[in-house]
Amino acid sequence: MRAPRSALVVLFLTLLFLLGPFVILFWASFGTRASLAFPPEGFTVYWFKKVLGMRMFVDSFRVSVLLALSSTVAALALGIPAAYALVRSSFPGKSLLELFFTSPIIVPGLVLGFSLLQFFTAVARCPVASRLFLGHMVILFPYTVRVISASLRNFDPTVEEAAVSLGAPRWLAFFRVVLPNLRAGIMAAFILAFITSFNNVPVSLFLSGPGVTTLPIQMLTYMEYYYDPTIAALSTLLIFFTVVIIQLVEKTLGLSTTLGG
């Protein structure tokens, strides 16, 4: 049975609404005028060259990538054993532990960022970079637990038991049998966590400091003072970055595996 024409029209308009602004932004980022105006005049790649040469954006891009990589790895290091413990055991209060492990998703990012700033100021003074790292690790952790748990549930535990009963020590069975079978899940969790960290504003907003600023925060700061198409060019680049990642995920894992975890 096919969908009625009216539903298809709504779908088309929805897509136009969701994606139209990106197309317009893309167009505007090639305009020659120094202020954002529509329709853009002329054609130039000046803004792209300018943004790629700006220290503040290059530096904060580097901070964002390093932060996303390190906090993702840390969240996986905590999340893989935690997911293994949750999936393979049963005890009273297990659902409570599961709830605790996923609760950083429920708490608004801005509230967590503000609380962490107070915590780091009052109790645990430490450098800006490590504040950001710890804050991001906390917000990424639930995603790793969810995705890894889902892929652990699809893996037959008797295979692991077979390895153990054939004489493999527990840790060897885990690394040689369980982990290779979780490869897709780990990849999915990695990409999801990386993007979540790379795009995060609310936590970074409170925890960034002099010299250590993430890219989205740097963009927000720049926008307070300048109106030229620099941010449009940078945004265009970032949107392409996202499209490439979505394609990669789709090609290697399938979107439903990644999002439905």
Partner 1 sequence: MLTTRKLLLLSVPALLALTIFFLVPLAMTFLGSLREGGTWTVNRYVAVISQRSFRVALVRSLKLGALVTAVAALVSYPAAYAISKLDKTKRTLLMSLIILPLMTNPVARTYAWFVVMGRHGIINQALLSLGLIGSPVKILYTEGAIAVGLLQLFLPLMLLSLVSALENVPGELEEAARSLGANGMRAFRHVILPLSADGLVIGGTLVFTGSITAYVTPAILGGTRVLMLSTLLYQKAMTLMDWEGATVVAVVMLLLAVGLNVLLRRLRPQEAS
Local structure of 39: helix, strand or coil: coil
Indicate whether 255 belongs to the interface with partner 1 (CB under 8 A).
yes
**Gyration radius of the chain over CA positions:** 22
Whether residue 147 contacts residue 78, with contact meaning beta carbons closer than 8 Å, is answered with: no
Nearest approach in angstroms of CB 73 to partner 1 is 14
Determine which residue in the list 45, 58, 111, 172 makes contact with partner 1, applying CB under 8 A. 111
The single residue among 70, 84, 128, 253 that binds partner 1, judged by CB under 8 A, is 84
**Is residue 137 a contact residue for partner 1 (CB under 8 A)?**
yes
Name 71's Cβ contacts closer than 8 Å, sequence gap at least 6: 132, 133, 136, 137, 140, 193, 197
Residue 259 sits in the site that holds partner 1 (CB under 8 A): yes
Q: Which of 63, 219, 257, 261 binds partner 1 (CB under 8 A)?
A: 219
- Span near partner 1 by CB under 8 A; candidates 49-57, 65-73, 117-125, 182-190: 117-125
As a three-state string, the secondary structure of 131-196 is: HHHHHHHHHHHHHHHHHHHHHHHCCCHHHHHHHHHCCCCHHHHHHHHHHHHCHHHHHHHHHHHHHH
- Nearer Cβ to partner 1, position 10 or 172? 10
Span 44-83, contacts to partner 1 by CB under 8 A: 77-79, 81-82
Give CA torsion, residues 69, 74, 77, 82, to 10 deg. Answer: -130
> How are the residues of the chain apportioned to helix, strand and coil, as percentages rounded to the nearest 5?
75, 0, 20
Q: Does 104 bind partner 1 (CB under 8 A)?
A: yes
Site string for partner 1, 138-167 (x = CB under 8 A): x--x---x---------------x------
Site for partner 1 contains 39 (CB under 8 A): yes
Q: What is the DSSP letter of 228?
A: S
Count of residues binding partner 1 (CB under 8 A)? Answer: 98
Q: Examine residue 16 and tell whether it contacts partner 1 (CB under 8 A).
A: no
Residue whose token pair is 């439905």: 260
Task: Specify the stretch interacting with partner 1 by CB under 8 A; choose among 49-57, 65-73, 104-112, 181-189.
Answer: 104-112
